[in-house]
A and B are shown apart, each in its own frame.
Chain A
Amino acid sequence: DQQVKQNSPSLSVQEGRISILNCDYTNSMFDYFLWYKKYPAEGPTFLISISSIKDKNEDGRFTVFLNKSAKHLSLHIVPSQPGDSAVYFCAAREGANNLFFGTGTRLTVIP
C-alpha cells in the first residue's frame, strides 16, 4: 500500500512562473518529509526537507509547505527555470525509520 502519493505524474510550467508539486501521505506518524530531484541517468539528489513541527521551510527559490491536518505537502519553485526540469520525488519518514518515496512528478519548464 502506497503510503506516500504523488497523484500528478507530470507538470508543465512556463519559465518564470511558479511550479507547485503536490504530495499526500497516509501515515500520521510520519514526522520528517523530504523532496528529491532526479535527472535522467542520475540518482535522486536531496533538495529540501521539513520537520513535522514546522509548516514551512524555504531555501532560495524552493519552499516546502506542510499541512499536517490534511496530510499534504507541496513544493513551490519560484521562479521556475528550464534547469528545474526533472522528476521530483516526495519522501517521508517516521522517527529513525526508513524513507518511503512517492512515485514522482515529472516537471517540464518551458523556455
Chain B
Amino acid sequence: EAGVVQSPRYKIIEKKQPVAFWCNPISGHNTLYWYRQNLGQGPELLIRYENEEAVDDSQLPKDRFSAERLKGVDSTLKIQPAELGDSAVYLCASGLGLAVGTQYFGPGTRLTVL
C-alpha cells in the first residue's frame, strides 16, 4: 500500500516569494492534516480536513497561508509571501478520522527561506 506522498521534498526560496506544497494521502483516508515542524520541535498542527472541509484551521496564519483539498483527496498548502521564519519541515498526514487513532505521515517538505 502506498504511503502519504508529498512534493517537493526540498524547496529553497527567497523571502517574499510564494511557495506551494502538495500532498496525496493514503487511499481511502478521509482525514488530512498539515503540520509544521520547526527545528528541534515536535510537529504542530496547521489545518485538519475531514474530506474537503477544513474542520480546524485555528493555527493556520491566514494572512499568508492558505490550503485547499479539492474533491477530498489531494491537498495543497501555500505560503504567500514567505518569510524567514517560515523555514521548517511541512508534514502532511492522513488517517481514517480522529476517533480511530493513528495518523500516517508523509516524508515532509523541507522549506528554506533565504
Residues of A within 8 A of B (CB): 4, 9, 32, 34, 36, 41-46, 49, 89, 91, 93, 96-99, 101-104
Confirm or deny: B104 has a beta carbon within 8 angstroms of a beta carbon on chain A: yes
Inter-subunit contact B42/A34 (CB<8 Å):
no
Residues of B within 8 A of A (CB): 4, 9, 33, 40-45, 48, 56, 91, 93, 98-99, 101-108
Q: How many angstroms from the CA of A90 to the CA of B108 in the assembled complex?
A: 19
Instruction: Note all chain B residues with C-beta closer than 8 A to A34.
Output: 101-102
Instruction: Note all chain B residues with C-beta closer than 8 A to A41.
Output: 9, 107
Contact status of A101 and B42, CB under 8 A, knowing A32-B101, A44-B105? yes
Contact status of A102 and B93, CB under 8 A, knowing A34-B101, A49-B101, A93-B98? no
How many A-B pairs fall under 8 Å by CB?
A: 51
Q: How many angstroms from the CA of A38 to the CA of B37 in the assembled complex?
A: 12
Inter-subunit contact A45/B101 (CB<8 Å):
no
Inter-subunit contact A99/B106 (CB<8 Å):
no
Inter-subunit contact B106/A43 (CB<8 Å):
yes
Choose one: A46, A49, A96, A101; the contact of B104 (CB below 8 Å).
Answer: A46
Residue of A nearest to B48 (CB): A98
Inter-subunit contact B42/A103 (CB<8 Å):
yes
Q: How many angstroms from the CA of A77 to the CA of B9 in the assembled complex?
A: 31
Inter-subunit contact B99/A96 (CB<8 Å):
yes
20 more A-B residue pairs beyond the given contacts A43-B4, A101-B44, with a C-beta to C-beta distance below 8 A = A4-B42, A9-B40, A42-B107, A43-B91, A43-B93, A44-B91, A49-B102, A89-B42, A89-B43, A91-B42, A98-B33, A98-B45, A98-B56, A98-B98, A101-B42, A101-B43, A102-B42, A103-B40, A103-B42, A104-B40
